[in-house]
């Protein structure tokens, strides 16, 4: 006769009844180990809820795709490639403290005007990278705008090649809405 230690578990001697009798899967209290198959939450949801969840995921993915494509399209190839990016893109919603600006190819400079108010050059942050220069303004204390007014505002950027000077300037206008 073989004696067994009550604290040990002999896996080979254990009969896995969870797959043989589906009724045992739901009632596993007192079972020496959890069932081998656990029903997923997805299968327990009503079909209408599953369809709605899939539809919401598809709509969200489609919206992200459309937004990414539209922001790229609205910023690419502006002014024959002179303008690399508008910040924010035309028609965007922004917060009262968000920055606005323009990114140009290297060798260009810009002046910014928002809602008819010129942004002083001393308040414009200019960052030059290898092939482009970014001109941005962020509202704040002691600046011409402490925050953006609620509603729609438009930016007018005047830009020119540094070597040609402002007499050969071009412009780009776009608008944003403060939410």
148: left (phi over 0), alpha (psi -120 to 50) or beta: beta
Q: Considering 55, 72, 89, which residue would you say is the last residue of a domain?
A: 72
Q: Report the number of distinct structural domains present in the chain.
A: 2
The pLDDT, as a whole number, for residue 15 is 55
Question: Is 3 a domain residue?
Answer: no
Question: 76 or 32: which carries more pLDDT confidence?
Answer: 32
**Residue with token string 């459309």:** 66
CA distance 83 to 74: 11
Question: Is 9 a domain residue?
Answer: no
The pLDDT, as a whole number, for residue 149 is 92
The whole-number average pLDDT for the span 5-23 is 54
The whole-number average pLDDT for the span 60-73 is 59
126 and 88 in one domain? yes
User: In the β-sheet with 125-128, what is the strand arrangement from edge to edge?
Assistant: 83-87, 100-105, 132-137, 125-128
Q: How confident is the model at residue 77 (pLDDT cuts 50, 70, 90)?
A: low
Tokens of 92: 């965007």
What's the CA angle centered on 9, arms 7 and 13, to 5 degrees? 140
Burial class of residue 138, CB neighbours in 10 A (0-12, 13-18, 19+): middle
36 and 105 in one domain? no
Q: Considering 46, 72, 98, which residue would you say is the last residue of a domain?
A: 72
Question: E strands, 62-169, where?
Answer: 83-87, 92-94, 100-105, 108-114, 117-118, 125-128, 132-137, 151-161
Question: Is 12 a domain residue?
Answer: no
97 and 165 in one domain? yes
> Residue 100 in contact with residue 113, Cβ under 8 Å?
no
85 and 59 in one domain? no
The pLDDT, as a whole number, for residue 89 is 92
- Fill in the DSSP letter of residue 97: T
Q: How confident is the model over 25-40, as pLDDT tens digits?
A: 555 566 676 666 656 7
Q: How confident is the model over 94-118, as pLDDT tens digits?
A: 999 999 999 999 999 999 999 999 9
Domain encompassing residue 35: 17-72
Mean pLDDT of the chain: 80
The pLDDT, as a whole number, for residue 73 is 43
Look at residue 71 and tell me whether its pLDDT is greater than 60: no
Could you give the percent of the chain with pLDDT greater than 90?
A: 50
No. of H helices and E strands in the chain? 4, 9
């Amino acid at each position: 006769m073989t004696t067994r230690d009550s604290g040990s578990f002999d896996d080979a001697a254990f009969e896995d009844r969870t797959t043989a009798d589906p009724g045992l899967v739901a009632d596993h209290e007192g079972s020496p180990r959890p069932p081998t198959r656990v029903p997923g939450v997805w299968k327990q949801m009503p079909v209408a809820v599953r369809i709605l969840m899939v539809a919401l995921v598809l709509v969200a993915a489609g919206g992200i795709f459309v937004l990414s494509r539209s922001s790229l399209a609205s910023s690419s190839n502006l002014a024959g490639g002179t303008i690399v990016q508008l910040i924010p893109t035309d028609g965007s919603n922004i917060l009262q403290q968000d920055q606005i600006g323009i990114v140009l190819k290297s060798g260009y400079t810009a002046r910014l005007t928002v809602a008819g108010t010129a942004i002083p050059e001393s308040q414009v942050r200019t960052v030059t990278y290898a092939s482009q220069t970014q001109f941005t303004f962020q509202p704040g204390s002691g600046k011409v705008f402490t925050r953006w007014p609620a509603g729609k505002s438009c930016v007018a950027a005047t830009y020119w090649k540094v070597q040609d000077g402002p007499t050969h300037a071009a412009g780009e206008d776009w608008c944003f809405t403060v939410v």
